[in-house]
A and B are shown apart, each in its own frame.
Chain A
Amino acid sequence: GENVEQHPSTLSVQEGDSAVIKCTYSDSASNYFPWYKQELGKRPQLIIDIRSNVGEKKDQRIAVTLNKTAKHFSLHITETQPEDSAVYFCAATELGGYQKVTFGTGTKLQVIP
């Protein structure tokens, strides 16, 4: 089955700086890669996703990039703000089979004011 690795596990940045979180996946057939944000005490919620037919997607201050050849994808947050502090999870979906979604281990991002 799919295996997703996520780095770093914790990340501290100064407000206004950029943050990058990286994930790698094992199944070359995976074709959908969502990112979830989980604020303290809340449920994880989808913030952005990317499909395998594109290499990059942007939504205001967040962007995702995908390198299918290397089987890795990244989340980029620019001009970080204190409200960006949360745990971020990447995920990958297998093509075919039962289409199970596999999550990474999470990155705790702290934005220091």
Chain B
Amino acid sequence: GAGVSQSPSNKVTEKGKDVELRCDPISGHTALYWYRQSLGQGLEFLIYFQGNSAPDKSGLPSDRFSAERTGGSVSTLTIQRTQQEDSAVYLCASSLALRSDRNTIYFGEGSWLTVV
């Protein structure tokens, strides 16, 4: 695709429900990142994929958070039993990662999650 696509763009869910956030990276991009950004805060790293594997999942806040990537393309971030503190923008990003000095990251528009 032309850019990183995320869905849904906005999601309001009740506390305790599960949510799935989807990311479709730029075609051919092997690296994929998930970040969380609370209002007025920085980029909180969640997980990094290289192809289908996740060599770094150190940022996942708890075992309620999981992510997978299939076919080296689309990724899904799942949050189980959502809590109010999960409310944030979830940003996906991708890069070619063929050479580290060409590792430009492109971000999606984000999924705005509100837990009520």
Contacts and interface: CB of A to CB of B under 8 A. Distances in A.
A43 B56 contact: no
Give the size range of A's interface with the partner: 20 to 34
Contact of A89 (B43, B48, B50, B109): B43
B105 A91 contact: yes
Interface of A: 1, 31-32, 34, 36, 43-46, 49, 51-52, 87, 89, 91, 93-96, 98-106
A86 B110 CA distance: 17
A100 B48 contact: yes
A34 B45 CA distance: 17
Given A105-B42, A106-B43, A100 B56 contact: yes
Interface string B83-97: 000000001000101
B38 to A, nearest CB: 12
Given A101-B33, A103-B43, A103-B45, A52 B107 contact: no
Task: Kindly name the residue among A43, A44, A91 whose own CB sees the greatest number of chain B CB atoms within 10 A.
Answer: A43
A32 to B, nearest CB: 4
A1 B59 CA distance: 13
B70 interface: no
